[in-house]
Amino acid sequence: MPSNKRRLYIALYPSGVVNNEERKYHWGFLIGPKVEAKFVIPGGRYHVKNSPFGWTYEEILLKNVRATNSLLARILIAKIEDEQRLIALLRRLPVVQGDSNWRCRTWVASALAEIAKDGKCVGTAELDWQKIEAFARRYVADKAASGRYQSVEDILKPKPTWDMIEDKESIP
């Protein structure tokens, strides 16, 4: 019987910091369905964001997980076994204040470590932060170099998506 497990993605957005390669992107998670047959695919975004009041955890239901505002790319990293368990795990992660080295990428890295340690919320997965981060940075840089983010038509399309489980691009 075919599986229809929801998917966990790493999401990259521009951070607004252009002169610092490490801080060039905002990192978060997206959750969406396995099958994306329609143009508009509902899902959710899970991330931490910095505001004038400090870092806060945020969950947002999305009308279209393939094309959220300013999304640069999605990297599929896992098939979800227990979505409620996964979301509860994300909600429990510490949100650190007052440490200038702690950022959204730090939170994503710690989330991946906790997901791996949990062993029950995802099944087939790539959870190695160093591998994911290096690949995601290269993927977005290659897309930018090829002009993928320059025209309005391209910006409105579903965003580039790479499947790290099957090692293939699903949306160019």
What does the alpha-carbon distance between residue 128 and residue 109 come to, in Å, rounded to a whole number?
9
- Closest C-alpha to 27, from 77, 63, 64: 77
Partnered with residue 29 across adjacent β-strands are 10, 46
The CA angle 144-18-26, to the nearest 5 degrees, is: 75
Residue 145 confidence class, pLDDT cut points 50, 70, 90? very high
What does the alpha-carbon distance between residue 103 and residue 157 come to, in Å, rounded to a whole number?
29
pLDDT tens digits, 69-123: 789 999 999 999 999 999 999 999 999 999 989 999 999 999 999 999 999 999 9
Query: Does the pLDDT value for residue 142 go beyond 70?
Result: yes
Q: What percent of the chain has pLDDT over 90?
A: 70
What does the alpha-carbon distance between residue 90 and residue 25 come to, in Å, rounded to a whole number?
20
Q: Domain map of the chain by residue range?
A: 7-165
> Which token pair is 108?
């994503």
Query: Does the pLDDT value for residue 2 go beyond 80?
Result: no
Sign of the CA dihedral with 126 first, then 132, 164, and 87 last = positive
Who has greater pLDDT, 22 or 134? 134
Residue type, 89: L
Least confident of 11-15, 22-26, 85-89: 22-26
pLDDT of residue 3: 67
